[in-house]
Structure 1
Amino acid sequence: MTQNTTNPQRKAVIYTRISEDRDGGQLGVGRQEEACRKLASDLGWVVVGVKVDDDKTAYGRNGMRAKRPAYAELLDMLAERRADAVLVWHTDRLYRQARDLEPLIDVVERTGSVVRPVTHGELDLASASGRMVARILASVSTHEIEHGRERMKAKHKEKRQAGHFPGGIRGFGHKPLKKRAPGAPPQVPQTDPREAALIERAAQDVLAYAADPSTGRSLGAICRDWNERKIRTPRGKEWGIPSLRVMLTGARLAGLIEHTDPETKQAEIVGPASWEPLLDMETWQAVRQVLRDPSRNTYTNRPADRQIKYLGTGLYRCPKCSEVIRAGGAHKGEGQRYRCTAGHVTQYAEPIDYVVERVVIARLTRPDARAAFSAPEKSAPAGLSMEKLNASHAALNARLEGLVEAFADDDESDPVEFRKASRTLRTRIAEIEQQITDAVTAAASAREPGPLDEVDMPELVRRHEADPDDALAWWRETLSLDSRRKILATLAVVTLQPGRRGRRPAGAPEFDPESVRIHWVRTDGTEV
């Protein structure tokens, strides 16, 4: 074919993407690249690079952009003028949402680059009308994805209510399902006798060990035994305590459907499943109760080498989802970071801790510090009998367990009525637990010293007036990390705003102190 001489020769970078590559063969992105190279030949353009995001979605959630390394490299090539054209199969390979389109528009406006999809003509991002069309296409693409997710959610909800297998990888104890033909009825997972026997033995060992550690086996011992015998998870991996605990406490073993709400992270039993239970209800409930017992949590009694090492772990909060932020995600050769569990916030830990402690010290050295952070005098809460509260808590839990058991045994039970009754009981249990917490807190605060009692305030004030950095060094040397965390948890609520997106402007600091928000409270939780 004769080259198109009306187009000036450009340095083109090819971008290909596919959301899901199940076999890892990259056939989808390969076909896209082939079509783009043919178009480059027709246009007389020189291909100077190929950027591939294989098995990467372009749809970001929770207000965040999807992580696509190759797309970021593509924008860098255009910004640095190493390329002045983009070849792509279709615009939805480049962007699915407006938040991904805007950086591309910015680069095109500054560099005069062009975008040429294979499936239609040049994408005009240099004019207001062209940008309007591009943004409309992005909105349409976003709508298609969101509409598809709504249909998928409705489909999964229907399957859960009918007790059908939700799909995905098989559960341990069940045989793999065969590929279902279109229009065929839903398949029912069949019991794997060998794995079912292992589950039964593990459940009995857990219960025996809980009653008497000299008998039965711990979760760790069961994992070691299974791994030595080459017994693997359904994903082909070795067993660990977390994966074993999740498997043994899953409602699937009792022949029930359980669903975890992705927004609230709360799990609830929807109703009976279509498959046979692998454990009887009484055994499963006993195992679940043992493995979910809060007293088993060794987080606060962990060995010294596993103690919390960063000030804000579990204390700092994300402003978007209000979840606590934890340390994690450090890359090799870089400092530790604080990360929100939902991915909203990622910031380096050291400068944040420095700012927070400097501000805390400055606030504590003010003359009104003790008066401001002391809890107002108040009488002990009335009407809180721990004996009655504990009895009510036990009775409500027994009613909830009985409700679950009755629902599982009655094939004609109404799932809607079950969820309504279950939700009522859970709400009441949560209220009782809050009353117990309030009573324990009130009793503890009456006999325990305040968080500032171990601080030599005159010395802190003297050092801070002379040199704030010396005061910080003294603060850290004098008080343990645990003590400093208790003071911070008692006196303030710290939220971390997301850091700057994209490239940092020349001369701008790597850390923005304004991203740290501190809200002061008294020792009783009331605002200062």
Structure 2
Amino acid sequence: MRLGGYARISLDKDGEELGVERQRRDYRQVAGVRPGWEVARDYIDNDVSAFKRNVVRPEFERLLTDLQSGVMDGVIAYDLDRLARQPRDLERLIDVFEDRPELVFCTVTNDIDLSTSDGRTMARVMVAFANKASADTGRRVARKHRELADAGKNGGGFPPFGWKADRVTVDPEQAELITKAHDALLAGTRLSTITAEWQEKGIRTSRNTGKPITRVALKGILTNPRLAGFRAVKGQKHIGLDGKPVLGVWEPICTPETLDAVVAVLEGVKSQYKANNLSNNHKYLLSGILRCAECGTRMIANMRSSWKEGSKGSRFMYRCPATKDGGCGKVSRAGEPLDQHIVNLIHEAEARLKAPASEPAEWPGAARLADVEQEISELISAMNGKRISAATAIAMLEPLEQERDELGYERNRHTVEQMKTTAATVDLPEEFERLPIERQRAVVMKHIKAIVVHPAGRGARKFNPDLLDVVWAA
């Protein structure tokens, strides 16, 4: 009898798989004393819940498939609740045993035969009780977490990135990484660029799974409300009974204004680039900034197929695209000398316009936003205290919340634009070279609206700056 051994544990904080290994050892020992039984394959779902309805257990799914197809002659597990804590999962398993009554079923802790009516009934009762126990535990845990959140205290799980194991003291190295990433995002650097930099440095999340950090994980780190000192529940600021966000007992890493601006950037605040149809998702410095003098179409860049390592020619070309939607395809220019010429012009412009740094302009709506947030807080507090009805409070809250969201959007946009303006100023050519391409483009577009490229004529090979019309920003 070729049996599939199934082991599962809901939480494995250290990732050492000790719990599932104990289960595997026990069910293999039981199978070893049964004549003719062999555990042909282990199906292990480590650190996976069987109670949460939205969780897919890959090894459980594979076990069902192998039982249905006849690859396995039965299943052995430590206990029934390792296999199923949701009645619907049990019913799927029972369907397989009804289709194939010759299948073997065994657990270490008790004997249940899913091929018989009595065994299936007993299994349904046991899973129902296990499901209720999980639900009761979930309610108690949720209530406990709510109490901790209301008090601004830490919950369970792994220490959040940016803090030490006590969850209160800031980790200086991780905090510096977060601060630099925030500054880069607000200055126009793409999240994917920062993700690649963290991966290159070997930075891991607090779970330390050994895998490179992902874009999704990095976004979660950089938008965590606790960075600004707020207690978070499921990634959102926790609102207390007084209608205000609850502050935590830990040291913050950034200001609320910075966090809101970062969230706005990652959620897609409209910027000057999008308003001008100049997406910042470019690999080349002047893509979309150059325009063909013959037809006015924005020029694009691509690598030269004939370029070879060690050759003196430019690796890429800017071209007017010949497409059905526009573009004559008549104008092209070697990319590297053109880029270098424009960079030199930018540095000259920076030197001429260099002025003492001024304080960032204050956002004029700050006072009104504070008043609106205070009014919202007072209304929620009055509703919770039964001083006004819920219907009255909701009717008064809706216009205030709409105004708060609009003001918040304007504040975030103001912050982002201030950061972009600051970041678009560089002191040295060496510093410019170290910037990611999106930041370099921001510096260029601070000074230049467009560059019109005229045809070079037949046989022209030497770069001629006189064939460029630079349209400077006001």
TM-score by length of 1: 0.46
Q: Deviation of residue 31 (structure 1)?
A: 2.8
* 1:251-400 alignment runs, 5 A limit: 251-260=225-234, 268=239, 270-280=245-255, 294-296=269-271, 397-400=369-372
1:243 positional shift: 6.0
Amino acid at match of 1:399: D
- What are the Cα deviations for residues 230-267 of structure 1, in whole angstroms up to 9, with x where unaligned? 48464468788776665555432332213348xxx897
Match of 2:75 among 60, 82, 86: 86
Alpha carbons 1:117, 1:123 under 8 Å: kept: no
Checking the alignment, whether the CA contact within 8 Å between 2:45 and 2:60 is kept in structure 1 is no
SS of the residue corresponding to residue 140 of structure 2 reads helix
Change in 2 beyond 3 A, CA 1:286/1:144? same
Contact 2:5 2:42 (8 Å CA) reproduced: yes
Q: What's the CA shift string for 1:384-424, capped at 9, x where partnerless?
A: xxxxxxxxx998744345679x99xxxxx99968xx99988
Query: Is the contact made by 2:9 and 2:47 (CA closer than 8 Å) also made in structure 1?
Result: yes
- Aligned mates of 2:257, 2:26 — CA distance in 1: 61
Give the 3-state SS of the residue equivalent to 2:43 in structure 1: strand
Is the 1:271–1:415 contact (alpha carbons within 8 Å) kept by the matching residues of 2?
Answer: no
Would you say the 8 A contact 1:223–1:240 is kept in 2? no
Residue correspondence of structure 1 range 6-405 to structure 2 within 5 A? 10-47=1-38, 49-55=40-46, 57=48, 59=50, 61-62=52-53, 66-112=55-101, 113-127=103-117, 129-177=118-166, 189-196=168-175, 209=187, 218=189, 223=194, 227=198, 230=201, 232=203, 234-235=205-206, 247-260=221-234, 268=239, 270-280=245-255, 294-296=269-271, 397-400=369-372
Amino acid of the structure 2 residue aligned with 1:192:
D
Q: Aligned AA for 2:32?
A: S
Indicate if the aligned counterparts of 1:226 and 1:232 stay in contact, CA closer than 8 A.
no
Cα deviation for residue 137 of structure 1 reads 1.0
Q: Distance in 2 between matches of 1:151 and 1:223?
A: 40
The CA deviation at 1:204 is 6.3
Kindly state the Cα deviation for residue 161 of structure 1 after the two structures are TM-superposed. Answer: 0.9
Q: Aligned AA for 2:253?
A: L
**Deviation of 1:92 (Å):** 1.1
Tell me how far apart the structure 2 counterparts of residues 33 and 200 of structure 1 sit (CA, whole Å): 45
Q: Give yes or no for contact 2:159–2:165 (8 Å, CA) kept in 1.
A: yes
In structure 1, C-alpha distance between the alignment counterparts of 2:151 and 2:20, rounded to whole Å: 38
Kept after mapping to 2: 8 A contact 1:219/1:245: no
Q: Which has the higher contact order (CA 8 A, sep 6+)?
A: 2
Q: In 2 relative to 1, CA 73–277 (structure 1 residues): closer, same or farther, beyond 3 Å?
A: closer
Shift of 1:272: 1.5
Between Structure 1 and Structure 2, whose CA radius of gyration is higher? Answer: 2
Q: Distance in 2 between matches of 1:23 and 1:150?
A: 25
Distance, in Å, in 2 between the alignment partners of 1:225 and 1:116 is 48
- Residue identity matched to 1:51: D
Q: 1:14 offset after TM fit, Å?
A: 2.7
Quick one: structure 1 residues 111 and 204, their matched pair in 2 at CA, closer, same or farther if it must change by over 3 Å? closer
Do the aligned partners of residues 250 and 95 (structure 1) sit closer, same or farther apart at CA in structure 2, a change above 3 Å counting?
closer
CA contact (8 A) 2:232 2:238 kept: yes
TM-score by length of 2: 0.51
Sort the Cα spacing of 1:67 and 1:219 in 2 relative to 1 into closer, same or farther, 3 A: closer
8 A Cα contact 1:26 1:54, kept in partner = no
User: What secondary structure sits across from 1:294 in the alignment?
Assistant: coil
| CA distance in 2: counterparts of 1:266 and 1:422, whole angstroms | 21
| Aligned-pair CA distance for 1:282 | 5.7
- Rounded Cα–Cα distance in structure 2 between residues aligned with 1:118 and 1:31: 12
Q: Which amino acid aligns with 2:10?
A: S
Contact 1:14 1:51 (C-alpha < 8 Å) held by counterparts: yes
Q: 1:29 to 1:403 in 2, by over 3 A?
A: same
Q: Does the CA contact (< 8 Å) of 1:78 and 1:107 recur in 2?
A: yes
2:225–2:231 CA contact under 8 A, matched in 1 = yes
Residue 415 of structure 2 is matched in structure 1 by: none
Q: 1 CA distance for matches of 2:8 and 2:29?
A: 17
Q: CA RMSD in A?
A: 4.9
Alpha-carbon contact 2:20-2:46 (below 8 Å) kept: no
Change (3 A) 1:193 1:69: closer
Give the Cα–Cα distance (whole angstroms) in 1 for the partners of residues 57 and 220 of structure 2.
31
The CA deviation at 1:25 is 4.0
The alpha carbon displacement at 1:141 in A equals 1.3
- Tell whether the 8 Å contact from 1:36 to 1:118 is kept in structure 2 after alignment: yes
- Quick one: which amino acid aligns to residue 274 of structure 1? V
Matched AA of 1:114? V
- The answer (yes or no) to whether the contact 1:396–1:425 under 8 Å persists in 2 is no
Paired AA for residue 35 in structure 1 = D
Residue 398 of structure 2 corresponds to residue 427 of structure 1:
yes
Alignment coverage as a number of residue pairs: 309
Which one-letter code corresponds to 1:141 in the other structure? A
Cα 1:193–1:37, aligned 2, differ >3 Å: closer, same or farther?
Answer: closer
Whole-angstrom distance in 2 between the partners of 1:80 and 1:426:
58
Contact in 1 for aligned 2:45/2:57 (Cα 8 Å) = no
Q: Is the 8 A contact 2:7 2:82 kept in 1?
A: yes
In structure 2, distance between residues paired with 1:224 and 1:11: 46
